[in-house]
Amino acid sequence: MIEVAEIAFTAYPARDVAALARFYSETLGIAFDEPYSENGVALYCEARVGSGYFSLMTTEWMGVAPGSCASIAFEVADIEAAFAALRERGIATEEIHVTPVCKLGSFTDIEGNKVTLHESTVTP
């Protein structure tokens, strides 16, 4: 059996990679590397987040439309504060759900992709 060690990356499709990278940088403080471009068009960029990468690719490269893929979840220390900051920026958020092990809730990025914020409530 193959043993998976960790998640290498999660990728989201974007019609405009540079604009979506800017959204995540300004909204969640994620610092993306310089995008890979051809003919002046950004086709792909990625950011190191924890032990993996969050990648943005053009819809042509991924072959899917924004909002049609699975969601990514980013770990945050305080989801209530994070949601308050999103709302201050005019970004609508869903209700925060509380489970026995975490708090989580979602918002939608500028391309229509669902983004989940997650706060673990269990001590490792």
pLDDT digits (tens, 9 = 90+) for 3-28: 767 777 888 999 999 999 999 999 99
Structural domain includes residue 69? yes
Write down the mean pLDDT value for the chain: 88
63 has pLDDT over 90: no
Structural domain includes residue 4? no
> What is the spatial distance between Cα 22 and Cα 86, in angstroms, rounded to a whole number?
15
* pLDDT interval class at 89 (50, 70, 90): very high
Secondary structure (3-state) at 62: helix
Tell me 22's DSSP state.
H
- CATH number of the domain within which 91 lies: 3.10.180.10
29 within 8 A of 74, measured Cβ to Cβ: no
* pLDDT interval class at 102 (50, 70, 90): confident
Helical spans, DSSP H, in 1-124: 17-28, 59-62, 79-88
* pLDDT interval class at 64 (50, 70, 90): confident
Domain extent at residue 18:
9-120
Structural domain includes residue 52? yes
Indicate the number of domains in the chain. Answer: 1
